[in-house]
Amino acid sequence: MSLIADQLAMVRRRMAAACERAGREVASVRLVAVSKHQPAAAVGEALAAGQTLFGENYVQEAREKISQIAGTGGSGAGWHLIGPLQRNKAKEAARLFDMVESLDALPLAEELSRRRLEFLATPLPVLMQINIGNEPQKAGFSPEEAAAAALHIAGLPGLRLRGLMAIPPFTPTAEEARPYFRALRRLAEALRETTGMPLEELSMGMSQDYEIALEEGATLVRVGSAIFGSRG
């Protein structure tokens, strides 16, 4: 087995154990293998080991990798954008990705919706990125503005709002991130009540803390270095 296959197997085992602790079905959660700064060959190894969902941060890097992977027969791969998106890259993002997890502003939402409908009749699945720690330097909707933003996004014909995503403040230990994960889950619950939308996806947890995020209800965990090693 390759190192990437080994590490994937370990992450999957730990995901299953975390789900079991929380009394959750492991089938209810998806692993997003974060392949930013990793070569297409690494993605190919992960694909060969059964991993089909990948996360990328940069549109241009993703475009090259996606076409390289498609060229080697990896057509079963799915791609999520998880990094900040500039409006002038919305056209390309709306075409490349199966989901944009990092939707962080309404003008961007409008542009993505418009661009998606230019070439596809099916709406682009999106998550609203929430600045769950209210950090001044961090992207995302504040928890306070989330309800109004969700209703606005729900009215855009080219997007389908599927849930929330967050990158909590850095904490020295994984356990210290738990209150932020819990806060995101509670925000999703509150938004379901006020908007009537299902908002079924919660993207939270990275290599350091995905097990805690799963205990708190994550449906998507974004794991990079624990699978691919350091990004150099």
Ligand X SMILES: *Cc1c(COP(=O)(O)O)cnc(C)c1O
Contact between 179 and ligand X (CB under 6 A)?
no
133 lines the binding site for ligand X (CB under 6 A): no
17: which residues sit within 8 A by CB, 6+ positions away? 211
223 binds ligand X (CB under 6 A): yes
Rank residues 94 and 218 by Cβ distance to ligand X and give the closer one.
218
Nearer to ligand X, 168 or 217 (CB): 168
Alpha carbons 7 and 13: distance in angstroms, whole number? 10
Using the minimum distance from each CB to ligand X, give the nearer residue, 63 or 114: 63
| Site for ligand X contains 207 (CB under 6 A) | yes
C-beta closer to ligand X: residue 15 or 158 = 15
Residue 84 contacts ligand X per CB under 6 A: no
Decide: is 171 part of the binding site for ligand X (CB under 6 A): no
Cβ partners under 8 Å of residue 198, min gap 6: 192
Residue 169 engages ligand X in binding (rule: CB under 6 A): no
Query: Per CB under 6 A, does 164 bind ligand X?
Result: no
Residue among 156 and 167 whose Cβ is closer to ligand X = 167
Residue 228, classed as helix, strand or coil, is helix
> What are the tokens at 24?
């959750």
Asked if residue 140 binds ligand X (CB under 6 A), the reply is no
**Between the CA of residue 63 and those of 58, 92, 97, 196, 206, what are the distances in Å?**
9, 8, 9, 35, 23
Is the sign of the CA dihedral 154, 119, 122, 124 positive or negative? Answer: negative
